[in-house]
C-alpha cells in the first residue's frame, strides 16, 4: 500500500472510533463487542475505494467520511454473521477469535445488528455537505447492495449451492452479489455524491465497481488455496473442505488467475475512459488483485 492509502486507513479508523463511542455505554459488553470486530484489523478496502472515487470526482475526504465509515460498519457486520456456526462457522477472523468465540453467539448476532443499524445513522452525518436527495440516493444504493438484492441474496445462494454442482452463471451471481455488490456501492457512492459526474460517466463507475468486486472475490478464492491461515487471518482451505462455489472449483486455479488479469486490464481501460485523476484508484485495484492476504 502507498502512503496515501495508509493515511486514509488511519483517518477511517479515527472516525470509526468517534462514531462508535457513546457517552453512556450500557450494557458495556455490546459496545466492547462492536469495537472488538471493527478494530480487529482489516484493509478498509471499501471505504478507501469510496474516498478515492470521491476525491477523483472533486469531493473532500471530510464530506464523504461518514458514508465511508457506514459502509465499513456494514462490511464488519456481515463478517460477524458470516463467521457464525449457522453460516461459515469459523473461529478466526483477521487473525483473532471471531466475535461469537469471544463473546458468545447471542452477543455476536446483536453486535452485527448494532453495526448494520448504526451504519445508516452514520451516513446521515454527511447532511451538512450534501442535499437530502443526494443522501437518500446513497442510502438507497447502499441498502440495496447490503440487502436481499445484493449481499444477503448472494450469501443465501452461496449457502444453497454449497456441495452442489453449479453453473458459471450462478457462480457469477454469487460473487457479484455476496461480495461485489457492496464494493460496487462503495465506488458508486463516491461518484453519485458529486455534481461533476453525468449519467454517462456514472455508468463507467458502475461497471468499474462490478469489475473490482469480481477481482476481489476471485482473488479471495485463489488465496484460500494458495495462502495460509496465518497470512489470511482466517482458516485457509475452508472453501475446498466445505465444497464452496468458487472460481478455482469451476475454472481451475490457473484459469482463475488469468481471469483476474483480464479483469484488471478491463478496469484500466474504464479508468482511462473516465478522464479524471484516477491513478490512486488504479494503485488500489492493483493491490487488491495482487494481495497475498
| pLDDT for 240 | 66
- Dmax (CA) for the chain in angstroms is 53
CB burial class (10 A; 0-12, 13-18, 19+) of residue 148? exposed
Task: Determine the pLDDT at residue 164.
Answer: 86
pLDDT of residue 258: 97
Grid cell, residue 31, equals 459496545
Which pLDDT belongs to residue 269? 97
Q: What is the pTM of this model?
A: 0.94
Paired residues of 97 in beta bridges: 92
Pairing mode, strands 96-97 and 92-93: antiparallel
What pLDDT was estimated at residue 56? 97
Tens of pLDDT, residues 72-126: 999 999 999 999 999 988 998 888 999 999 999 999 999 999 999 999 999 999 9
Q: Which residue has the higher pLDDT, 24 or 52?
A: 52
β-sheet bridge partners, residue 92: 97
Domain boundaries, the chain: 3-290
Quick one: pLDDT at residue 242? 65
Question: What pLDDT shows up at residue 226?
Answer: 86
Q: Is the pLDDT of residue 248 over 70?
A: yes
Nearest to 82 by CA among 293, 235, 219, 210: 235
pLDDT on residue 265: 98
Between CA 162 and CA 273 the distance in angstroms is 39
Is 223's pLDDT higher than 90?
Answer: yes
Kindly tell me if the per-residue pLDDT of 293 is higher than 80: no
pLDDT at residue 281, as a whole number: 97
- Mean pLDDT for all residues in the chain: 93
What is the CATH code of the structural domain delimited by 3-290?
Answer: 1.10.600.10
Chain centroid to CA 125: how far? 21
Tell me how far apart the alpha carbons of residues 13 and 232 are, in angstroms, rounded to a whole number: 21
Amino acid at each position: 500500500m502507498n502512503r496515501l492509502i495508509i493515511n486514509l486507513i488511519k483517518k477511517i479508523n479515527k472516525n470509526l472510533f468517534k462514531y462508535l463511542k457513546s457517552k453512556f455505554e450500557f450494557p458495556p459488553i455490546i459496545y466492547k463487542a462492536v469495537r472488538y470486530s471493527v478494530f480487529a484489523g482489516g484493509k478498509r478496502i471499501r471505504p478507501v475505494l469510496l474516498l478515492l472515487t470521491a476525491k477523483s470526482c472533486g469531493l473532500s475526504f471530510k464530506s464523504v467520511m461518514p458514508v465511508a465509515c457506514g459502509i465499513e460498519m456494514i462490511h464488519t457486520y456481515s463478517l460477524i454473521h458470516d463467521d457464525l456456526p449457522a453460516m461459515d462457522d469459523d473461529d478466526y477472523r483477521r487473525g483473532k477469535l471471531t466475535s461469537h468465540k469471544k463473546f458468545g453467539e447471542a452477543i455476536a448476532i446483536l453486535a452485527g445488528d448494532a453495526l448494520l443499524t448504526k451504519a445508516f445513522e452514520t451516513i446521515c452525518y454527511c447532511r451538512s455537505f450534501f442535499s437530502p436527495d443526494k443522501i437518500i440516493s446513497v442510502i438507497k444504493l447502499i441498502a440495496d447492495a447490503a440487502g436481499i438484492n445484493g449481499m444477503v441474496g448472494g450469501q443465501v445462494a452461496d449457502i444453497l449451492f454449497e456441495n452442489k454442482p453449479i453453473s458459471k452463471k450462478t457462480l457469477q451471481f454469487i460473487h457479484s452479489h455476496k461480495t461485489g455488490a457492496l464494493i460496487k456501492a462503495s465506488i458508486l457512492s463516491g461518484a453519485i455524491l458529486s455534481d461533476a459526474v453525468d449519467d454517462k460517466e456514472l455508468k463507467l463507475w458502475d461497471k468499474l465497481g462490478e469489475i473490482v468486486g469480481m477481482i476481489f472475490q476471485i482473488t479471495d478464492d485463489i488465496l484460500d488455496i494458495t495462502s495460509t491461515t496465518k497470512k489470511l487471518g482466517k482458516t485457509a482451505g475452508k472453501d475446498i473442505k466445505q465444497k464452496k462455489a468458487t472460481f478455482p472449483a469451476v475454472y481451475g486455479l490457473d484459469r482463475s488467475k488469468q481471469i483476474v488479469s483480464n479483469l484488471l486490464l478491463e478496469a484500466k481501460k474504464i479508468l482511462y475512459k473516465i478522464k479524471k485523476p484516477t491513478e490512486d484508484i488504479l494503485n488500489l485495484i492493483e493491490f487488491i488483485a495482487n494481495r497475498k492476504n
